[in-house]
Structure 1
Amino acid sequence: MKYSTAMALALMALAAPAVAQEAIEPETLTVKETIDPGHNVFVMDQAWAGPSSVYVVGSDELTMKGNVGPGTVGQMTLNAAGDTLFTSSVYMERYTFGDLTAVVQEWDVQTLKLKREIEVSNKMAQVESQPGLLTFVSGEDYLLAQNATPATSLSLVDLAAGEQIAEIPIPGCWLAIPATEGMKFSTICGDGTLKSFTFEADGTYSEPASSEKIFDVDDDALFSNPTRVGENLVFVSFTGNLYVVDDSGESAVLLDKFSITEGTLGGWAPSGSELIAYHAPSDTAFVLMHSGKYDGSHKNAAEEIWAVNMTSKTVVGRGHAHHENGLAVTQTEAPIIFAASEEGALVKYDVTLGDEVTFEMAGEFEGLAGFPTLIKLDQ
């Protein structure tokens, strides 16, 4: 009975007239020729499980404008005009074994299109992004890219010629710190010194000029990424000392050293990767900090951001952080901080200057990246 009833209903449905449906309007897909206007934040997502990506985010509303895709374990740097992005990365033939190709790639920011690529030494270091692993030197005429096999060296790339013109050995040292002018750079070394090099347009380079011992690698190790304060470099140590170094001469010289944590309760210490940024208009350095320090806690995500007046050498403000490990600050009259968290978010802070510097979280782009490692700003 049930079977015959079901059959009857099915036959009736087939015999019924078809119900008219409105025609579906086909969607027309378009591609923007250029990204939206306005200032940008560039976030490197290294994504070690595959290719890296650089996300371009509007700095006002933290809206996604687009991205470019270099190879695996990418590094990046941005020119002063903010209209050209350079990346370095490797392309693996079989990923787990086989040949690889290392390249520097040049991207047009407005169109996010690849302009050219320059093949460089396949000794390129496949490590977490840091500012000194791909950096301009001599203005923007040359690039230096870090190599590690694990022996360390730097690939010198002539951008006008579009080719690598030298490999400069830097044994026992790491990354390139460009001088403020000239064909010169320094590098930080495992014996507590900085070594400085000069080079020529034909790719020849000098013997290293070594500084006196600047820091103790056992008692007060330095984070390798400094910030430039005026003409000088400022390094942060694991214990909370700031080292002021003059790199303008033949060899680097330690000018000053002072603590930002002495007398502070709670075992506070700096932590992160790109953990210091300097706002020149207010002479203020911003440092990522964590409490309850212990051996190895220099990698911990930030609990607070501290503001340090570089003239008075004092902490002039402390603000709540959101587990960031890197930050950058605009050079606008009122500083704006952009920071990347270990959860993959991009966080924006408005900073109010005064006798006491204060911080206010002004926005967050959650889930932006899997492994955000480096931030660049165009303002």
Structure 2
Amino acid sequence: MITAGSWLMFLTLFPVAVHADDASFVPETVSVKTRISPGPNVVVNQMGMASSTLYIYSARDLTLKGSVSGGGWGLSTLSRDGNTAYMASSFFSRITYGTGEDVLQIFDVPTNTVKKEIRLPFKITQYTPDAAQLRLSADEKFIYVQNATPATSVTVVDLVNDKVLQEIPQPGCYGIYPALQGHGFSTICTDGSFMTFTLGADGSTFTSRRSEKIFDVDSDPIYLASARAGGDLLFISYNANIYRLSDQSGVIRTVSVTSLTRGIPGNWGTSGYGVLGYNAADNVLFVPMYPNHHEGTHHRGGKQIWAYDLTRRTLLSRSPVDDISTIAVSSGEKPVLYGLNMEKNLIGEYAVDKNHGFSLSKTAEHTDFGFATMIMGDL
């Protein structure tokens, strides 16, 4: 047994030396970075039933810079300069059910803070997030929100005065493809046509025009994914046919339809979600592709990414990749491609070798997010 006396004797025989030099001790200061590091960003939209998050990465090396969060089934888009992020999402009183409200949140990207909120009609679409569901007008004064109850419509929001202007019915149509000038957008319809809506100057009125049949919904359906090339809209079908369309006249018309796979064995087809990446400087289109393509494989991650020269209508390269479902490509003279693997919750950065047919090689990756189908960026 250790008594008080024996304990005191122990301390006497074996003194404990304490040399605290107050003058040399510098306590650690914990602070919060008020702004993320400068430079271009890549943003991954992680969708959740209760909460959705935009993860902001450096476009140079995929270093995580920060994040902002909203409600369930978050739809998102970025301003042209990349400094403002928008998320339309649903908030429920019991997290995943109960009384709900839909809210448009407007975030300041450099500081990762909420700038403002605008309450929306409680009817935004709850579908796998896609860039075509939340889009800004050409002058970024309006934002268009895809609804589905399941009846489809688009809510028009005035971002200058922070108010909802109107709801535009789009029966049998889905997706939002804004005009390059003025206020308006086109949408894909279930009969293979497009409907184009032209808004009045104050956004409170509209007129509409339906196109002729553009594609066959049974034999050659197209993805929601799109790109702009020289003012035209680019879409691609499950069978890898590139539809180049013009909306300059206020109604969609076909410019050209080009097969990406003609003469190539292996029954390749387009595969994934965000399946178009366009580099404007070289007029090159990138597409994730899947072999032995058949009905039902369109959602699988691509096994190759093909680079296609739209000027010469020539296939430039076929780069092997690991189940890439969504891509985004920078627009400048030195393109970089970003690819999303949905199975592994992984975003990869790929260098583009212009001297070898715009072929790809992975240079970085990041994996700390959940289910995601969208990549955005000021690229």
TM-score, normalised relative to structure 2: 0.93
Taking the TM superposition and a 5 Å limit, the aligned residue runs for 1:1-379 are 7=1, 16-17=10-11, 19=16, 27-48=28-49, 50-342=50-342, 343-354=344-355, 356-365=357-366, 367-379=367-379
Name the residue aligned to 1:3. Answer: none
Question: Structure 1 residues 316 and 165 mapped into 2: Cα distance closer, same or farther (>3 Å)?
Answer: same
Count residues in correspondence: 371
Deviation at 1:109, TM superposition (A): 1.2
| C-alpha contact (below 8 Å) 2:289/2:302 kept by paired residues | yes
Question: Structure 1 residues 305 and 21 mapped into 2: Cα distance closer, same or farther (>3 Å)?
Answer: farther
Supply the distance in 1 between the matched residues of 2:76 and 2:123 (Cα, whole angstroms): 17
| C-alpha contact (below 8 Å) 2:327/2:339 kept by paired residues | yes
Supply the distance in 2 between the matched residues of 1:165 and 1:39 (Cα, whole angstroms): 33
| C-alpha contact (below 8 Å) 1:239/1:270 kept by paired residues | yes
DSSP-derived class of the 1:186 partner: strand
| C-alpha contact (below 8 Å) 1:168/1:205 kept by paired residues | no
Which residue identity does 1:374 align to in structure 2?
M
Deviation at 1:21, TM superposition (A): 6.6
Which residue identity does 1:268 align to in structure 2?
W
Q: Deviations over 1:246-266 (max 9, x none)?
A: 111131111111101122112
Alignment gaps of 5+ in structure 1: 1-6
Supply the distance in 2 between the matched residues of 1:285 and 1:363 (Cα, whole angstroms): 22
| C-alpha contact (below 8 Å) 1:197/1:205 kept by paired residues | no
| C-alpha contact (below 8 Å) 2:143/2:156 kept by paired residues | yes
Which residue identity does 1:250 align to in structure 2?
G
Deviation at 1:357, TM superposition (A): 2.3
Root-mean-square deviation (Å)? 2.0
Question: Structure 1 residues 149 and 16 mapped into 2: Cα distance closer, same or farther (>3 Å)?
Answer: farther
DSSP-derived class of the 1:132 partner: helix
Indicate the percent of aligned positions where both proteins have the same amino acid: 34
Deviation at 1:245, TM superposition (A): 0.7
Q: Deviations over 1:54-107 (max 9, x none)?
A: 111111121111101111111111111111111111111113432111111111
Deviation at 1:377, TM superposition (A): 1.4
| C-alpha contact (below 8 Å) 2:198/2:250 kept by paired residues | no
Bigger shift: residues 39-48 or 156-165: 39-48
Which residue identity does 2:210 align to in structure 1?
S
Supply the distance in 1 between the matched residues of 2:107 and 2:276 (Cα, whole angstroms): 27
| C-alpha contact (below 8 Å) 2:278/2:286 kept by paired residues | yes
Question: Structure 1 residues 168 and 22 mapped into 2: Cα distance closer, same or farther (>3 Å)?
Answer: farther
| C-alpha contact (below 8 Å) 2:199/2:207 kept by paired residues | no
| C-alpha contact (below 8 Å) 2:143/2:158 kept by paired residues | yes
Which residue identity does 1:311 align to in structure 2?
T
Deviation at 1:20, TM superposition (A): 5.5
Question: Structure 1 residues 11 and 266 mapped into 2: Cα distance closer, same or farther (>3 Å)?
Answer: farther
Which residue identity does 2:270 align to in structure 1?
P
Which residue identity does 2:258 align to in structure 1?
F
Deviation at 1:233, TM superposition (A): 0.8
Question: Structure 1 residues 98 and 281 mapped into 2: Cα distance closer, same or farther (>3 Å)?
Answer: same
Deviation at 1:8, TM superposition (A): 5.7
Q: Deviations over 1:210-255 (max 9, x none)?
A: 1000001000000022111111111100011111111111311111
Deviation at 1:14, TM superposition (A): 8.7
Deviation at 1:138, TM superposition (A): 3.4
Alignment gaps of 5+ in structure 2: none
Bigger shift: residues 311-320 or 279-288: 311-320
| C-alpha contact (below 8 Å) 1:346/1:368 kept by paired residues | no
Which residue identity does 1:349 align to in structure 2?
Y
TM-score, normalised relative to structure 1: 0.93
Bigger shift: residues 197-206 or 72-81: 197-206
